């Protein structure tokens, strides 16, 4: 009489091997063809020891279907066993889903492949099943958490569902997001970010573009961060939609010290050896001024008339992303910007711009107040205090940006540049002279620096500091004071460095930079302003005085600088 054997309290029954079968459900869940190495190892163990765990089966018609032990069954079959030890379960699954649930539960401690895990999770969450069933999503999520232990949070099942369904709807997307989140190669949050970028129309990026440029592939591999990915997407869209289809005029006016580039600054191209130290500019303010006529060439590229603040900020950021290709790692971006109001509501332009610039990968350093001491009051219909300042927002490309601190003027030191100094042909402090020449520009610079402590407020009396407006024949009315860029040029760019102003206007930034021993690049959208800008820049070259410039730097700059100017 054969001795009755038990396994974990279950009776073991020997069954003819030809009566045992693998279910279609098991074959759908597990890829047994890829497990030949495991089957071979089991064969060796059984041949050596003659011991194996019994199969768990249930009777289905005249056959016994395996619930657990398919690999052992394959090993025994290849060893030509006629009988196999089995535990016959007293169950009768009523549907295919129920059998799959059972198989998964019995194989919960097995080591499935990544593709098998994906199939198991998708089944337990019923992601491929459109029919009605009793099992809820929550029950499946609970079992998946049990399978994975503490490392798998319950919320991951909901994220898995979103990623799996997106992947199913986007075949051949080449991103392998489902596989990467299951293996832990990327986080669920990163996968959701990728899907958001590909599905949100505001990013203007889809699978077709991703296959061409593979920006999100680099992001998924950790080669770039989110800000860099979005920056590259913006640049790609710009080149794809604008740069490769519409060519702007390429007229350039250049000398050894300055260059004027006519056209859209978002598309401005520079010589390959260009190296920019500082970008200082005052862009068009949102919804305040139209600088070009509706039928004027390049009018469609003018920034400031976008339907939303967000679009304005994105277009403006595109300008700096374009320039950042040539901006040194020590480079700084200074942007003079002001608020815009919709009736009684502040549109938060500056706050939005800072956010978009940070998303693009730039470091927000600080903001400086430009105080307009002679600002005009509002009329009685405006229900807020008078507006007497604008801001200069400062950004850096990296944390090692260049900086040289301005110091307070020493009254005991005799300066060669004083209030009574006059150049030949000038009219002293007479800013109403018929020309637009600045009376001894270095005296103006010196007096301006003496009168400011340079904490985070710069005080400029604007009625006396718009000399570049004199002599304008083109009706330009968006200029800012000549002296405003001076402290930023001195502090955030080295001597002989290069300053780019992407919104040229009247050339004010360039004038100050040339007087302070820097090189200048000016971009200008409208042809009508190019001649005036060139005149202003040439004046900066002609009026540069090395002796006076040295006096200014000796008086107001510390000898120590931070950041590498090379």
Q: 565, 533, 547: which is closest to 262 by C-alpha?
A: 533
Q: 368, 313, 388: which is closest to 485 by C-alpha?
A: 368
If asked whether residues 294 and 199 sit together in one domain, one would say no
Q: What is the distance between the alpha carbons of residues 321 and 277, in angstroms, rounded to a whole number?
A: 14
If asked whether residues 291 and 241 sit together in one domain, one would say no
Please give the tally of structural domains in the chain: 3
Instruction: Report if residue 421 sits inside a domain.
Output: no
**Dihedral-angle region of residue 471 (phi above 0 means left; psi in -120 to 50 means alpha; beta otherwise):** left
Give the domain extent around 244: 112-251
Instruction: Report if residue 514 sits inside a domain.
Output: yes
Tens-digit pLDDT profile for the chain (566 aa)? 355 677 767 888 999 999 999 999 899 888 888 888 888 888 988 988 888 889 999 999 899 999 999 999 999 999 999 999 999 998 888 888 888 888 887 776 666 777 777 887 787 778 876 554 445 777 777 777 766 666 677 778 888 888 888 888 887 788 888 888 888 888 888 989 999 999 888 788 888 888 888 899 888 888 888 877 887 787 777 666 544 333 334 344 678 899 999 888 998 888 888 999 999 999 999 988 777 777 777 788 899 989 999 999 999 999 999 999 999 999 999 999 999 988 788 999 999 999 999 999 999 999 998 887 766 777 777 787 877 889 999 999 999 999 998 877 666 655 555 444 433 333 333 333 333 344 478 888 888 888 777 677 777 654 444 444 443 333 333 445 778 899 999 999 999 999 999 998 889 899 999 999 999 999 999 888 888 888 889 889 988 999 999 988 888 887 666 665 44
If asked whether residues 40 and 95 sit together in one domain, one would say yes
Q: 486, 388, 479, 488: which is closest to 441 by C-alpha?
A: 486
CA dihedral in degrees (34, 35, 39, 40; nearest 10)?
60
Instruction: Report if residue 458 sits inside a domain.
Output: no
CB count in 10 Å sphere of residue 98? 16
If asked whether residues 126 and 90 sit together in one domain, one would say no
If asked whether residues 199 and 276 sit together in one domain, one would say no
Instruction: Report if residue 415 sits inside a domain.
Output: no
Give SS3 for 424.
Answer: coil
If asked whether residues 49 and 173 sit together in one domain, one would say no
If asked whether residues 49 and 73 sit together in one domain, one would say yes
Give residue 420's pLDDT.
41
If asked whether residues 176 and 120 sit together in one domain, one would say yes
Instruction: Report if residue 434 sits inside a domain.
Output: no
Task: Kindly report the CATH number assigned to the domain that includes residue 11.
Answer: 3.90.1530.10
If asked whether residues 177 and 274 sit together in one domain, one would say no
Q: What is the distance between the alpha carbons of residues 497 and 521, in angstroms, rounded to a whole number?
A: 11
Instruction: Report if residue 360 sits inside a domain.
Output: yes
Instruction: Report if residue 32 sits inside a domain.
Output: yes
Task: Kindly report the CATH number assigned to the domain that includes residue 314.
Answer: 3.40.50.150
**436 half-sphere exposure, CB direction, 13 A CA radius:** 21
Answer with the one of 91, 111, 131 that is the final residue of a domain. 111
Q: What is the distance between the alpha carbons of residues 457 and 452, in angstroms, rounded to a whole number?
A: 8
If asked whether residues 180 and 296 sit together in one domain, one would say no
Sign (positive or negative) of CA dihedral 463, 468, 469, 471 = positive
Answer with the one of 216, 251, 286 that is the final residue of a domain. 251
If asked whether residues 45 and 88 sit together in one domain, one would say yes
Structure tokens at 452: 């400011």
Distance of CA 407 to the CA centre of its chain: 36
Structure tokens at 560: 């120590």
Q: What is the distance between the alpha carbons of residues 194 and 329, in angstroms, rounded to a whole number?
A: 28
Give residue 414's pLDDT.
52
Instruction: Report if residue 21 sits inside a domain.
Output: yes
If asked whether residues 196 and 245 sit together in one domain, one would say yes
Q: 305, 238, 304, 309: which is closest to 268 by C-alpha?
A: 238
Answer with the one of 251, 273, 289 that is the final residue of a domain. 251
């Amino acid at each position: 009489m054969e001795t009755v054997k038990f396994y974990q309290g279950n009776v073991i029954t020997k069954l003819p091997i030809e009566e045992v079968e693998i279910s279609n459900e098991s074959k759908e869940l597990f890829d047994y063809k890829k497990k030949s190495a495991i089957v071979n190892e089991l064969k060796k163990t059984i041949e050596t020891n003659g011991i194996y765990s019994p199969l768990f089966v249930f009777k289905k018609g005249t056959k016994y279907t395996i619930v657990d032990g398919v690999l052992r069954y394959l090993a025994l079959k290849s060893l030509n066993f006629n009988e196999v030890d089995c535990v016959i379960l007293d169950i009768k699954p009523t549907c295919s889903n129920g059998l799959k649930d059972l198989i998964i539960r019995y194989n919960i401690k097995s080591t499935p492949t990544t593709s098998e895990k994906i199939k198991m999770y998708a089944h337990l969450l019923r992601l491929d099943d459109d029919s009605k069933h009793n099992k809820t999503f929550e029950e499946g999520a609970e079992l998946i958490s049990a399978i994975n232990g503490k490392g798998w949070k319950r919320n991951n099942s909901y994220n898995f569902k979103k990623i799996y369904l997106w992947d199913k709807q986007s075949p051949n997307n080449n991103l392998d997001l489902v596989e990467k989140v299951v293996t832990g190669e990327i986080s669920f949050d990163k996968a959701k970010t990728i899907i958001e970028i590909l599905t949100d129309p505001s990013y203007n990026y889809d699978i077709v573009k991703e296959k061409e440029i593979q920006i999100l592939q680099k992001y998924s591999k950790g080669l770039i961060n989110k800000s860099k990915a979005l920056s590259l997407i913006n640049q790609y869209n710009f080149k794809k939609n604008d740069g490769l289809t519409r060519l702007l005029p390429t007229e350039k006016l250049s000398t050894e010290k300055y260059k004027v580039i006519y056209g859209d600054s978002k598309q401005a191209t520079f010589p390959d050896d260009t190296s920019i130290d500082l970008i200082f500019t005052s862009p068009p303010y949102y919804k305040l001024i139209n600088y070009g006529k509706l039928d004027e060439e390049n009018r469609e590229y003018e920034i400031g008339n976008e339907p939303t603040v967000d679009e304005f900020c994105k277009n403006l950021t595109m300008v700096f992303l374009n320039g950042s290709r040539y901006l040194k790692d020590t480079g700084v971006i200074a942007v003079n910007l002001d608020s815009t109001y919709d009736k009684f509501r502040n549109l938060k332009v500056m706050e939005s711009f800072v956010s978009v610039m940070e998303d693009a990968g730039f470091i927000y350093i600080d903001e400086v107040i430009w105080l307009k001491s002679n600002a005009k009051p509002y009329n009685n219909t405006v229900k807020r205090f008078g507006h007497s300042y604008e801001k200069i927002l400062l950004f850096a490309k990296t944390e090692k940006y260049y900086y040289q601190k301005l110091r307070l003027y020493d009254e005991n030191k005799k300066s060669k540049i004083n209030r009574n100094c006059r150049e030949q042909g000038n009219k002293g402090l007479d800013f109403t002279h018929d020309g637009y020449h600045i009376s001894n520009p270095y005296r103006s610079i010196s007096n301006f620096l003496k009168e400011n402590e340079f904490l985070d407020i710069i005080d400029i009396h604007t009625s006396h500091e718009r000399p570049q407006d004199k002599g304008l024949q083109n009706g330009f009315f968006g200029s800012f004071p000549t002296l405003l860029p001076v402290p930023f040029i001195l502090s955030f760019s080295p001597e002989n460095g290069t300053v780019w102003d992407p919104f040229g206007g009247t050339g004010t930034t360039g004038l100050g930079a040339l007087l302070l021993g820097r090189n200048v690049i000016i971009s200008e959208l409208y042809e009508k302003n190019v001649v005036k800008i060139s005149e202003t820049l040439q004046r900066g070259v002609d009026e540069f005085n090395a002796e006076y410039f040295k006096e200014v730097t000796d008086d107001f700059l510390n000898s120590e600088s931070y950041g590498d100017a090379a």
